[in-house]
Amino acid sequence: MEIKTSRLLIRPWKDEDVKHYLAMSVDVGYNCFTPPGVYLVKDEGEALTKVRLRIKNFTDSGIGKFPIFLKETGEFIGTCGADKFDLDGKQEYELGYRFMLNHWNKGYATESANALLDYLLKDLKLPQVHAFAVYQNPASLKVIEKVGFTYLRDFMWSNLVHRLYIKSCS
Ligand SMILES: CC(C)(COP(=O)(O)OP(=O)(O)OC[C@H]1O[C@@H](n2cnc3c(N)ncnc32)[C@H](O)[C@@H]1OP(=O)(O)O)[C@@H](O)C(=O)NCCC(=O)NCCS
């Protein structure tokens, strides 16, 4: 799997991405709107373990959150992709994205989300994908709506009210 958009390259994780994992784990923008410490690792060895888990998840399922690079410079800028989540006792897929602070507001979330939705709904033929964000995260809600999700309802996730959306294969 390798996805190219006009400005971005999205591909599965490799061992050599450990340096990118370490960078994102301490980036203030990347870590916004997630509980403190979720991506924090104590050293390079632990980061490599996390990267290898992502590699294994992708090998097993073809799905995961992928690293994103600028085509022009090769710079790592964030991640986008899907993970399973439990919705009312049923396994569904959630589209998610996170970018390093220096790369916010350049349209990269929208560009990568559109590409990932094509991959998930057309290539992998998932019947539907969900997305959700808190009311306090207008940039994420804007992206969700720009890439064509439909609002379903509010629901609780991580003890916070989130707006829940769906996009179906059509
Ligand atoms: C949410 C996030 C991924 C958006 O990435 P991005 O590449 O900046 O998004 P885009 O540039 O594609 O689009 C952002 C849109 O939100 C708008 N926006 C940004 N900040 C906003 C704000 N405070 N209020 C309202 N709209 C805002 C932008 O103007 C843009 O809309 P436009 O294209 O109509 O101008 C990025 O801010 C991020 O990584 N945040 C931290 C992690 C996170 O919250 N992930 C999502 C968890 S649900």
Domain boundaries, the chain: 3-168
Query: 57-63: long-range contacts (C-beta < 8 A, 24 or more apart)?
Result: 58/1, 58/12, 58/13, 62/1, 62/124, 63/93, 63/120, 63/124
Secondary structure class of 136 (helix, strand, coil)? coil
Q: Which CATH architecture describes the domain 3-168? A: 3-Layer(aba) Sandwich (3.40)
Question: For the whole prediction, is pTM greater than 0.85?
Answer: yes
Please tell me if the CB atom of residue 138 comes closer than 6 angstroms to any atom of ligand 1.
yes
- Please give the pLDDT value at position 84: 96
**Nearest CA owner, ligand 1 atom 48:** 133
Please tell me if the CB atom of residue 25 comes closer than 6 angstroms to any atom of ligand 1.
no
Q: What are phi and psi of 103, to 5 degrees?
A: -115, 15
CA of 142 to the centre of ligand 1 (A): 7
Distance CA 119, CA 75 (A): 22
Please tell me if the CB atom of residue 33 comes closer than 6 angstroms to any atom of ligand 1.
yes
pLDDT < 70: residue spans in the chain: none
Q: How far is CA 154 from CA 117, 162, 165, in A?
A: 22, 6, 9
- Please give the pLDDT value at position 83: 96
For residue range 87-119, what is the model confidence (pLDDT) as tens digits? Answer: 999 999 999 999 999 999 999 999 999 999 999
CA of 135 to the centre of ligand 1 (A): 13
- Please give the pLDDT value at position 170: 74
CA of 13 to the centre of ligand 1 (A): 24
42 residue type, one letter: K
- Please give the pLDDT value at position 102: 98
